[in-house]
Structure formats: C-alpha cells, structure tokens
C-alpha cells in the first residue's frame, strides 16, 4: 500500500513538473517573439544641409586716392551711410594750391589765345600760330581738370548705400595713396555660398526645373531658420577635383539687416525622392563603417545583409541598394539574435511602422 502511494506521489510530481516546464517554455516563446516589417516604397522628400558662408552683395575696401594727413572723419564705425555721403577728408591744402596754379595758367593762356585770334582774323599772324595758341589753351584747361580731380580725391565718399566696418586709420594719421581706410558692405541682399557633392548636384539638376527647387532656407548659427527663403541663382562652372563638390550661390533678402557679411550657417535644400525605399534607422547596425540589417528568410532564420544608404532623414534611411520591398527585416532586438538563428516573429505593416516614427511622406 505504501509502495502504491509513493508511486502515485511521484507521478503527480512529474506531472506538475512537466506542466510547469511547458508553461515556462510557452512564456519563453512569447518573450522572444520579435517585430518584423518590410521596407516602405513611397514618394517623399529629403532635406539636405550644407555649411555655408554669408557674404554681402557688395563688400569693398575704401582706400585713400591721395597722400596726405587725415583731416576729418564724418562717420562712425558700424554706421549706415548713403551713396555719395562724405566719409573722410584728407588735408586738401596742397591740392587746392595746385588747382589755383592751374587755373591761373589757364587764364594766362586764354588771354594769349584771344590776342592771337584777333591778329589771325586781321591776317597779321598765320593760322598755324592760332592753332598753336589753341593747343596751349586746351592743355591748360586739361591741367585745371586734372587738378580738380586730385582735389576731389581728398574727399572719400560712399560709392553706394551700406554699413561701415571699423576704421583702419585714425584722425591726423598720415595716409599714403592706396592705404586702407575702412570697408563698406551693402547688406540689402546677401549672397550665400555652399558646396554640393556631385551626386546631389545631379539630383538637383534633374528635378530643379520640374519641381521648382530653386528655393532654399537658411539655418542660422543660433539654430533658427531665417524668416525669408532664398533663391539659388548661380552654380559655378567647374567641380573641385579635390573635394568632388561644386559651389552654389543663393540670394537672400535682408530687409531687417539681420544678416551681416562673414556670418556662417547651413543651407537647407529640399529634394524629392521618387519610389524611395525607406526603413527605420533603428533597424540597422554598423560594422566597420558599413550598414547592415537582419533579413528573415523563408525558414524564419536571421541573415545579416549589407545595405547602401542613399539618404538620411530623421529616424529613417532611404536605401539605395541591398533590399527589396518584399524583404522582411528585424525591427528590434538586434543585439539579442545571432546569425542563422531561427526566431518567432510578428509582422508589422510598413506604413504603420513609419507613421509611428513621425515621417512625413507624400
């Protein structure tokens, strides 16, 4: 009787142990069920960023045209000046004296010419004498004009509306011809230069006319987007063979004068992607600077596969090669699986996966 009871107890324990193990195995299977999806093929847009240099449409150096002492400064650093406004005065005494001398010489020669003309009209002197007197008068008048030009060079005026930079000389300084006084910038519009790689240049030229992609945005150094969009107006003729880039120039309006010559920022250029194959970034991993995904084969086994990234956007990659739209890729648990491991998985629709990442797709 005791033996029968012992056998019944042992059988009951075995049954309970088997049930417990089966329950644990079921829980384990549920715990290792991974999420799997496929690439989403759709039309969308990408926004590329390029480091840029901001330049005034006119930025020139103002230099002294004559030698002399800097007698007066009529403006201040950082001041907005109008075209024709007097900015600097170089001591004009020498050039005033030269003008007076030239005018006196011209008056004297003018009197001689009148006398010679009267004599020529009376046939007392020849026409050659009159022509010689006229030539002397023309030369004297030319000297007057030249003296006026030199005197005018002692006044440095603004060639256009703009903002002054800091002074390179101080009041009373002796300046020589060609010495730098200051610089002047016309900031009514700004030219923004940025370099574009060859592949992205080709994409831009392919779609620029059809998609009206000339409009670009400027991300300023404080990470704020400039209020006014710019327009790509110029592309340089040649690529830089060392970098593989070509220079673009966009023009931005600057009505509030916020942008200044020499600033930096980033140009944001939006380009369309037709039939792009996009996947979440979290579904990829990197080995030796190459991108990989785990593809689930028909036997539910995990296989790593190298892919080529065509474009990068927030949370997603556009795949250039390595995947087809029917491939199943592992979305999570990439560190928990091994090559050729058979897994349990649940399939998630690609549109649902991408929508949860906040992608805007057309």
Contact 174/90 with Cβ under 8 angstroms?
no
Which of the given ranges, 40-49, 94-103, 119-128, 165-174, has the highest pLDDT on average? 165-174
Continuous H helices in the chain: 2-31, 93-121, 127-152, 198-211, 350-356
Tell me which residue has tokens 């880039």.
245
- What whole-number percentage of the chain has pLDDT above 70? 88
Per-residue b or e along 237-272, where b marks 16 or more CB atoms closer than 10 Å to that residue's CB: eebeeeeebbbbbbbbebeeeebebebebbbbbebb
- What whole-number percentage of the chain has pLDDT above 90? 32
CA angle 137/141/145 to nearest 5° reads: 170
**Residue 264's beta-bridge partner residues?**
53
Tell me which residue has tokens 């011809």.
177
Per-residue confidence band for 202, with pLDDT thresholds at 50, 70 and 90? confident
- CATH of 34-44+275-356, picked from 3.30.465.10, 3.30.479.10, 2.40.420.20, 3.20.20.10, is 2.40.420.20
Q: Nearest-CA neighbor of 151 among 194, 100, 199, 227? A: 100
- Which residues, 6+ apart, have CB-to-CB distance to 94 below 8 Å? 68
Specify the CATH number of the domain 66-177: 1.10.287.470
Specify the CATH number of the domain 48-57+184-273: 2.40.30.170
pLDDT of residue 133: 83
Q: Nearest-CA neighbor of 200 among 226, 242, 239, 229? A: 239
Residue 330 and residue 307: Cα distance in Å, rounded? 14
Give pTM, 2 decimals.
0.67
Judge whether residue 241 has pLDDT over 80.
yes
pLDDT of residue 13: 55
Mean pLDDT of 271-289: 86
Q: Which two tokens stand for residue 347?
A: 């399939």
Q: Strands, DSSP E only, in 198-343?
A: 215-220, 230-235, 245-253, 264-280, 284-287, 290-296, 302-313, 316-321, 329-330
Where do the domains of the chain lie?
Answer: 34-44+275-356, 48-57+184-273, 66-177
Per-residue confidence band for 119, with pLDDT thresholds at 50, 70 and 90? confident
CA angle 300/354/336 to nearest 5° reads: 40
Tens-place pLDDT, residues 20-49? 555 444 444 455 788 889 998 888 888 888
Tell me which residue has tokens 């790509």.
232
Phi, psi angles (nearest 5°) of residue 344: -95, 140
First to last CA, the chain: 80
Tens-place pLDDT, residues 8-26? 655 555 555 555 555 444 4
pLDDT of residue 356: 77
Mean pLDDT of 279-290: 89
Radius of gyration, alpha carbons of the chain: 41
């Amino acid at each position: 009787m005791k033996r029968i009871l012992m056998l019944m107890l042992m059988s009951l324990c075995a049954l309970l142990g088997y049930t417990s193990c089966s329950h644990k195995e079921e829980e384990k299977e549920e715990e290792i069920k991974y999420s799997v999806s496929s690439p989403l093929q759709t039309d969308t847009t990408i926004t590329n960023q390029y480091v840029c240099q901001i330049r005034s449409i006119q930025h020139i150096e103002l230099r002294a045209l004559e030698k002399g002492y800097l007698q007066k400064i009529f403006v201040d650093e950082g001041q907005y000046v109008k075209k024709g406004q007097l900015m600097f005065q170089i001591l004009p005494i020498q050039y005033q004296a030269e003008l007076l001398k030239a005018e006196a010489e011209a008056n004297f020669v003018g009197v001689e010419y009148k006398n010679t003309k009267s004599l020529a009209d009376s046939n007392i002197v020849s026409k050659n004498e009159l022509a010689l007197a006229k030539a002397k008068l023309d030369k004297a008048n030319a000297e007057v004009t030249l003296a006026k030009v030199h005197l005018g060079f002692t006044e440095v005026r603004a060639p256009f509306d703009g903002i002054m930079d800091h002074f390179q000389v101080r009041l009373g300084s002796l300046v020589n011809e060609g010495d730098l006084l200051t610089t002047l910038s016309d900031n009514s519009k700004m030219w923004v230069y940025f370099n574009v790689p060859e592949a992205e240049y080709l994409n831009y030229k392919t779609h620029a006319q059809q998609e009206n992609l000339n409009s670009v945005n400027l991300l300023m150094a404080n990470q704020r987007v400039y209020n006014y969009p710019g327009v790509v107006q110029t592309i340089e003729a040649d690529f830089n063979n060392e970098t593989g880039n070509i220079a673009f120039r966009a023009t931005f309006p600057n009505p509030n004068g916020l942008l200044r010559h020499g600033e930096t920022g980033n140009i944001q250029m939006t380009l369309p992607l037709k039939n792009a194959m996009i996947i979440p970034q979290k579904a990829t991993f990197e080995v030796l600077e190459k991108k990989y995904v785990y593809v689930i084969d028909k036997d539910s086994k995990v296989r790593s596969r190298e892919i080529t990234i065509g474009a990068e956007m927030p949370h997603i990659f556009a795949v250039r090669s390595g995947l087809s739209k029917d491939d199943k890729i592992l979305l999570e648990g990439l560190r928990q699986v091994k090559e050729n491991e058979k897994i349990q998985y649940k399939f998630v629709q690609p549109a649902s996966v991408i929508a949860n990442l906040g992608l805007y797709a057309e």
